[in-house]
Amino acid sequence: MDWGIHFLVTASIACEIFLIILDIRWKYMRSNFVRFIVWASYLLLSFIAKIALGKLSVVRIDDPEDPSYDVVLEGLLAPLLLMQLGYTDRITAYSILNIGATVVFVVRILIRCWDGSSPVSRLYILLFVAGFIKAALWVWALKSVYDENSIVNAEYYPKVTKEARESSSQLELFPEDQKFDSAKDILKAYFWFDCLKPHLVNWLYHPVFISQDWMRIDCYPANRAFTVNEIELNFMFDTLYTKAPILYTKCGIIGCSISFFCLVSALCRFAVIFKGAFLIDMYIAYTYALPMAVTCLELDQITTLAFSDWAVVEMGKNLGMLLFSRLIPFLANRCMRKKRWARSMGRNPVRVVLNWFGKWMAVRAVLDWFGKREIFSWYWLQSRQPMPLHLIALVLRKMEELEQKRNFRRFKQRGKWTLEIHGIQEKQGLRSSIEAIFAKSIIIWPIATKILQSLEIEKSNTCGGSKFLSEYMMYLLAVHPHMLSLPTANMTLEDACCMLKPFLRYRDYKEAISALSSLDGDVPHPVIPSKETWDVLSEVQKLVADLRTMDNKWELISSIWVEMLCHAAYNCHVYCHAKQLRRGGVLITHVWLLLAHKTDKFPVENPNCCLDIPEISLLGLMFF
């Protein structure tokens, strides 16, 4: 008897248990340690399962015509390992692996261990079916994400069929009852996601798709509108990183049911065959415990399927059934209480960032040599705080003001629209700070914001929100410059540090504030700037001088910051936003999704005709 194989299978089940425990939390936890555990468990599960399959393939069989009972029992472990390689339902993959060879490998092991005279061999079929379905769903989920055929062009847009028009009259309308509000929010988020498909870069979209009264969320409070945005990002996360879009299809539900039925049947049959041997033979008892553990894990995942946003959507499609109409308010309210992202934001004051770039030069030089500076900066500059509700309200309000200037166009400005709204294009300091290189603007404005905030006596929510946004943009510039599309951000920060470090060397905090906030334009320069160097001190002083003379300066500053954030979010690649989703989510990704819904990506002159498309009209009639 080879107990080593049993221990390997036990270790693979332990890795799956870790994944099941953490896979719900990894979408909103920012901890690097948690992400490491998920990543390590994922890799170890694959590694251990393949080692166990390798040991099973070389199990010694003295008589191939009549294998011993322990060899037959070990054959049961092969399809269980195939199920492990199908991974949990809420995690598909960090990488695409070729599972076809594994299926062939398992079939070879089962044929080798087969004993026609033993009733245990009959269990091979049931367990293999369960394992094959698990692996097939995993491959299907990966294919559905990376299939290029899912990215359509205008000529492939679905045609309105007679059957679709006839079925629309039979669809149930949602009841006008407050208890269905949560369900409506989830269904709106799903409809927005289904229209936009934000994970597909070339998907055709026009804001008219969500312009109907039953789809608008403009009248929602800030927190509720932001929650709808969170739910939509959750659908995107599930589509990219889980099996959810597959499991909630008819084929997915049937496959899961058959797989679970085969597992339970094999478990019961095993108990009948060895009903008198469990207490006598520990090898049999331990072998029975392994498929029992796998069955319990499958039961947990099936139970979880009923308590998700996808389940609410599927029930909404069948609201005419009395059971679903009574269950959906309860399930929707429970889903609305779930945490979908970290609801926190990174913050780095200017002082912290400049200290990092002014010190540890030897450490940064070594890291630069290996191209791994971000490893140290992630820990040195990692500072997170909960995102306040007033900041959400401020961002949404300012975005609504900017939309009136943007009018569905691409977001190319980073301050110009705000100056036009407030009618102050003549301010030289303001205009030059916005027209500068984006990285320089992000450095100038946090310093000016900090100076003005320290001079403020009564700090309003707009003032506090501006400070939050300034520190958040500095955090992105220092830690995630790729999110701002600024590959040379480190060089710009080092240039700023070279000018600011001598200025701050012999001044305390109050003296520095006083010097940079003076209105006479005289800023002492410890290092005289040349034509090639960047005179950051003078630019900060000019900006502060212009802003101090304004009565509504905090409305202007907050609007500038939101416009900069929108510019960065819109121009950041979809891949970067998708990558941040599995790291807890970030504010800039939420802003990107809100902007995407207000951007015209449709090549047809009259997009209103597309409202007759079944995928759009039927969903609206069905849910609202």
Q: Is residue 440 domain-shared with residue 571, that is, in the same domain? A: yes
Q: Is residue 234 domain-shared with residue 251, that is, in the same domain? A: no
Q: Kindly state whether residue 588 falls inside one of the protein's structural domains.
A: no
Q: Is residue 400 domain-shared with residue 430, that is, in the same domain? A: yes
- Range among 320-324, 427-431, 481-485 rated most confident: 481-485
Q: Dihedral of the CA atoms 524, 528, 530, 536 (nearest 10)?
A: -40
Q: Is residue 328 domain-shared with residue 360, that is, in the same domain? A: no
Q: Is residue 118 domain-shared with residue 256, that is, in the same domain? A: yes
Q: Kindly state whether residue 216 falls inside one of the protein's structural domains.
A: yes
Q: Is residue 194 domain-shared with residue 73, that is, in the same domain? A: no
Contacts of 199 (CB under 8 A, 6+ apart): 145, 236, 239, 240, 574, 578
> How many domains does the chain divide into?
3
* Pairwise CA distance, residues 452 & 513, whole Å: 9
Axis crossing angle, helix 389-406 with helix 461-479, rounded to the nearest 10 = 80
DSSP state string for 547-582: HHT-TTHHHHHHHHHHHHHHHHHHHS-HHHHHHHHT
Domain interval for residue 224: 151-242+309-338+614-623
Q: Kindly state whether residue 512 falls inside one of the protein's structural domains.
A: yes
The pLDDT assigned to 160 comes to: 31
Average pLDDT over residues 211-223: 79
Average pLDDT over residues 246-266: 91
pLDDT band at 260 (very low <50, low <70, confident <90, very high): very high
The pLDDT assigned to 150 comes to: 45
Main-chain phi, psi angles of 256, to 5 degrees? -65, -40
pLDDT digits (tens, 9 = 90+) for 270-300: 888 888 777 677 888 888 888 898 899 889 8
| Cβ atoms of residues 36 and 88 within 8 Å | no
Expressed in percent and rounded to 5, the helix, strand and coil fractions of the chain are 70, 0, 30
Q: Is residue 443 domain-shared with residue 544, that is, in the same domain? A: yes
The pLDDT assigned to 396 comes to: 94
- Range among 200-214, 226-240, 342-356, 492-506 rated most confident: 226-240
Distance of CA 516 to the CA centre of its chain: 41
Helix (H, G, I), strand (E, B) or coil at 385: strand
Picking from 197, 174, 188, the residue whose alpha carbon sits closest to that of residue 336 is 188
H/E stretch holding 459 reads none
With pLDDT > 90 as the criterion, what percentage of the chain qualifies? Answer: 15
Top-confidence residue, 462 or 96: 462
* Pairwise CA distance, residues 183 & 335, whole Å: 9
The pLDDT assigned to 167 comes to: 34
The pLDDT assigned to 556 comes to: 94
pLDDT digits (tens, 9 = 90+) for 503-533: 777 777 677 777 787 766 566 655 555 555 6
* Pairwise CA distance, residues 246 & 147, whole Å: 14
Q: Kindly state whether residue 281 falls inside one of the protein's structural domains.
A: yes
The pLDDT assigned to 78 comes to: 81
Q: Is residue 24 domain-shared with residue 161, that is, in the same domain? A: no
* Pairwise CA distance, residues 622 & 319, whole Å: 9
pLDDT digits (tens, 9 = 90+) for 9-25: 888 888 888 877 776 66
Q: Kindly state whether residue 30 falls inside one of the protein's structural domains.
A: yes
Which residue's entry shows tokens 């946004």? 469
* Pairwise CA distance, residues 569 & 411, whole Å: 9
Checking if the pLDDT of 621 tops 60, the result is no
The pLDDT assigned to 315 comes to: 87
The pLDDT assigned to 423 comes to: 85
Top-confidence residue, 382 or 557: 557
The pLDDT assigned to 367 comes to: 62
> Which sign, positive or negative, has the C-alpha torsion 206, 590, 479, 91?
negative
Checking if the pLDDT of 27 tops 70, the result is no
Q: Kindly state whether residue 592 falls inside one of the protein's structural domains.
A: no
* Pairwise CA distance, residues 275 & 293, whole Å: 18
Q: Is residue 379 domain-shared with residue 526, that is, in the same domain? A: yes
With pLDDT > 70 as the criterion, what percentage of the chain qualifies? Answer: 75
pLDDT band at 197 (very low <50, low <70, confident <90, very high): confident
pTM above 0.95, yes or no: no
Helix (H, G, I), strand (E, B) or coil at 386: strand
The pLDDT assigned to 537 comes to: 84
Q: Is residue 48 domain-shared with residue 69, that is, in the same domain? A: yes
171: left (phi over 0), alpha (psi -120 to 50) or beta: beta
Q: Is residue 532 domain-shared with residue 397, that is, in the same domain? A: yes
Checking if the pLDDT of 151 tops 60, the result is no
Mean of per-residue pLDDT scores for the chain: 78
Q: Kindly state whether residue 27 falls inside one of the protein's structural domains.
A: yes
Average pLDDT over residues 376-395: 77
Main-chain phi, psi angles of 384, to 5 degrees? -130, 145
Q: Kindly state whether residue 484 falls inside one of the protein's structural domains.
A: yes
pLDDT digits (tens, 9 = 90+) for 38-97: 777 777 787 788 788 888 877 666 555 556 666 777 778 888 888 777 666 656 554 444
Which residue's entry shows tokens 């076809």? 100
Q: Is residue 536 domain-shared with residue 435, that is, in the same domain? A: yes
Partners of residue 386 on adjacent β-strands = 344
pLDDT digits (tens, 9 = 90+) for 365-375: 666 665 555 55
Lowest mean pLDDT among 142-151, 159-168, 248-257, 600-609: 159-168
The pLDDT assigned to 259 comes to: 92
Tell me the CA distances in angstroms from 403 to 7, 20, 407, 421, one per residue in order: 60, 42, 6, 11
Partners of residue 346 on adjacent β-strands = 384
Picking from 198, 221, 195, the residue whose alpha carbon sits closest to that of residue 589 is 198
